[in-house]
Amino acid sequence: MLNYILRRLAQAILTLFIVSIFLFGLISAVPGGMMSAYAENPDMTPEDIARIKARYGLDDPVPVRYAKWLGNALKGDWGNSFTSKRPAMTEITDRLPNTLLLMGVMLIVTLLIAIPLGIISAIKQYTWFDHITTTLAFAGQSLPVFWFGLLLIIVFAVTLKGGDGRPLLPGSGMATLGKPFSLIDRIEHLILPVTMLAFVSAAGYMRYLRSSMLDVIHEDYIRTARAKGLREHLVIYKHALRNALIPLVTLIGLDLPVLFGGALFTETMFAWPGIGRLYFNAALKTDYPVVMAILMIQSALVILSSLLVDVIYASLDPRIRLS
């Protein structure tokens, strides 16, 4: 088992190294160069641009810049933001709690919707309930997420008004400016972005669980449980669901790194100050230290989650260690 873990760990480190090369190369190949945001500023003189390039080593060849970046990153220095002049990790850690709040609430709401609907849809296969939920699931996976978000803003933040004449639900930010912290206010700001994310995510999870439940409820041990006289809810929730959830848990585990990256469209549309919006703004301004730090951390989390899943599988099935 130890040899298997060490081998997979070595593969993970090599994969992350290769990913870092590709990401750095792609960012360095941005049209207009990394100084394009400064070149369009009329207040910037050629001497200013040359001084900035020399300060950040942008005149060096790409392999030299990558070697310097890798050496600094291994020491914990991810560089400073071009726009705010603050360390890139400081920019990320300041916004990480906001992203975790949004994505964490979204995941909870998604599971509260997807698991019951997936179970009932599988039990009532080909009934009107199954047809409706399946149709909504297809619609949720097919809808452009940005279009759905705009629709929510138009309906609930623009068209519909509350009793005091204000929008029924806030359409931007994570709190009302000038208002002291209030749990109700924070929940109101979460409703629209969480709805936008949960509707799309729950559709996929619901269909996945429905398919897994349909595979399980026709197994021999389920028929045996019914033949023993067990109540139907015990057969479904104690025997069938416990086995049907295994692949879903694996899928959720692989999706967890996405919680760090946030939701680019959602955070941008609803002005949510999270990692996704930080990444979008940094990409627009060619702030490559921040972009590179976000992409590398998310890549590392994806690789780490895959490694953990492989190790768990290997502990459950020794045959995997030999593959």
Tens-digit pLDDT profile for residues 119-164: 999 998 889 999 999 998 888 888 888 888 899 999 998 888 877 7
Q: How many CA atoms lie within 13 A of 268 on its CB side?
A: 15
Same domain, 277 and 320: no
Amino acid sitting at position 136: L
Cβ neighbours of residue 173 closer than 8 Å, sequence gap 6 or more: 189, 270, 271, 272, 273
Residue 322 has pLDDT above 60, yes or no: no
Say what percent of the chain tops pLDDT 90: 20
Helix (H) or strand (E) holding 282: helix 275-284
| Mean pLDDT (whole number) for 198-221 | 88
Residue 309 has pLDDT above 80, yes or no: no
Same domain, 138 and 256: yes
Residue 321 has pLDDT above 80, yes or no: no
Residue 165 has pLDDT above 70, yes or no: yes
Q: What is the pLDDT of residue 153?
A: 92
Tens-digit pLDDT profile for residues 50-104: 777 777 677 778 888 899 889 988 888 888 888 888 899 999 999 989 988 998 8
Judge whether 66 lies within some domain: yes
- From the centroid of its chain, how far is CA 10? 26
225 — pLDDT class (breaks 50, 70, 90): confident
Judge whether 241 lies within some domain: yes
Q: What tokens were used for 255? A: 């999706």
| Mean pLDDT (whole number) for 185-197 | 91
**Structure-model confidence comparison of residues 43 and 63, the more confident one:** 63
- Residue ranges making up the domain that contains 65: 1-83+292-323
Say what percent of the chain tops pLDDT 70: 91
Domain CATH code at residue 249 = 1.10.3720.10
Q: Return d(Cα 272, Cα 279) in angstroms, integer.
A: 12
| Mean pLDDT (whole number) for 253-264 | 73
Q: What is the pLDDT of residue 174?
A: 87
Judge whether 90 lies within some domain: no
Q: Return d(Cα 135, Cα 132) in angstroms, integer.
A: 5
CA distances from 109 to 106, 189, 193, 230 (A): 5, 15, 12, 31
Same domain, 168 and 275: yes
Q: What is the pLDDT of residue 22?
A: 92
Same domain, 146 and 122: yes
Residue 35 has pLDDT above 70, yes or no: no
Would you say 76 and 293 are in contact if contact means Cβ atoms under 8 Å apart?
A: no
Same domain, 54 and 175: no
Structural domains in the chain (count) = 2
Same domain, 257 and 318: no
Same domain, 296 and 240: no
Contacts by residues 151-158 (CB-CB < 8 Å, ≥ 24 positions apart): 152/192, 152/195, 152/196, 153/192, 153/269, 153/270, 156/191, 156/192, 157/192
Same domain, 207 and 269: yes
Cβ atoms within 10 A of the Cβ of 260, count? Answer: 20
**Structure-model confidence comparison of residues 117 and 221, the more confident one:** 117
**Structure-model confidence comparison of residues 316 and 94, the more confident one:** 94
Q: Which residue has the tokens 């204000």?
A: 166
Same domain, 237 and 117: yes
Residue 187 has pLDDT above 60, yes or no: yes
